[in-house]
Structures are given as structure tokens and as C-alpha cells.
Amino acid sequence: MTLEALLAYAHILAILTMVVFLASEAALCRVQWLNAAVVERLAKIDAIYGIAAVSVLLTGIARTWWGIKGTAWYWTNPLLHIKVTLFVVIGLLSIKPTLMFLRWRRELRATGSLPDEAQVRLARRLVMVQAHIVPLIPLAAVFMARGFGK
């Protein structure tokens, strides 16, 4: 019982961390706010976002292996597959903004130039799409926790 509680806590903490840093990216990635300090900060925030996302994945897997319900219950539930698919989609959508933030930082350090408006708008759009998909995952989770999908 204690292990289950600790696994759930670690998973929720990782999820909240991921959401906070995704929201931070969305808040900072705006044409009107972008300056050298924000470019540097976006790269750092995105790194923490990535670490948090990996933590969400690892703690989720840990819950399926060492949690009370076990792998047989989790991995045969189609709602888990929906959650994982949405998570993978978010991960794939995050690749381009990550590469953009790193490129912006590299260019800023090399030439002192900031990205153009179109690039900032594209990065923000991709971050916002991720932010709008994230709430669907806990929706599937609450139904799964109540026995749906079995």
C-alpha cells in the first residue's frame, strides 16, 4: 500500500512539473515578450519540461509494474493505450519547438540576433497544441481508474 501511494505521488508530481513548465513555455513564447533573456530561459525551461516528461513516462511505467493493479490490468485497458498515444503525440509535437529554442539560443549567442516573428508564432502554436492535448490524458485516466475500458 505504501509503495502504491509513493508511486502515485511520484507520478502526479512529475505530471504537475511537466504541466507547469509547458505552461511556462506557452507564457514566454510570445513575439511581444521575446528578448535575449527569454530566449535563454526558454531553452532552460524546455529542458526541464523534457526531464519532467521522461519522469512522467518512467513513473507511469513503474506504476504498471509495481502498482497494486499490475501490468495485466493496465496494459489490457484500451484507455491506457489512448493515454500513451496522446503522450507520444505530445512528445512528437515537442521536438520542433525544442530544436527551435536551441537554435535560437545558439544564434543569439553567436550573433546576438533574435528569431523572427514567424518562428516565434510557429513555436508558440506547437506549444499551445501540446497544452491543449495534455488535459485529455487525465480525462482518460479518471475513467480508467473507475474501471472503464475493462
Average pLDDT over residues 100-118: 98
pLDDT for the residue 26: 97
* pLDDT(150) > 80: no
In the DSSP assignment, the letter for residue 113 is P
| pLDDT tens digits for range 4-57 | 999 999 999 999 999 999 999 999 999 999 999 999 999 999 999 999 999 999
Q: What is the 8-class DSSP label of residue 1? A: -
pLDDT at 51: 98
The total number of residues written for the chain in this structure: 150
Per the CB < 8 A criterion, the answer to whether 97 and 126 are in contact is yes
Mean pLDDT (the chain) is: 96
**Structural contact between residues 65 and 71, judged by C-beta atoms closer than 8 angstroms:** yes
Residues 143, 79 contacting (CB under 8 angstroms): yes
Residue type for position 26: A
* pLDDT one-digit tens code per residue, 63-100: 999 988 889 989 999 999 999 999 999 999 999 999 99
User: How many Cβ atoms from other residues are within 10 Å of residue 50's Cβ?
Assistant: 16
Q: Which pLDDT belongs to residue 58? A: 97
The residue behind cell 495534455 is 134
Question: Can you list the domains of the chain with their CATH numbers?
Answer: 2-145 (1.20.120)
Residue 129: in which H helix or E strand, if any?
A: helix 117-133
CB within 8 Å of 133: residues ≥ 6 apart: 86, 89, 90, 93
pTM, full prediction: 0.93
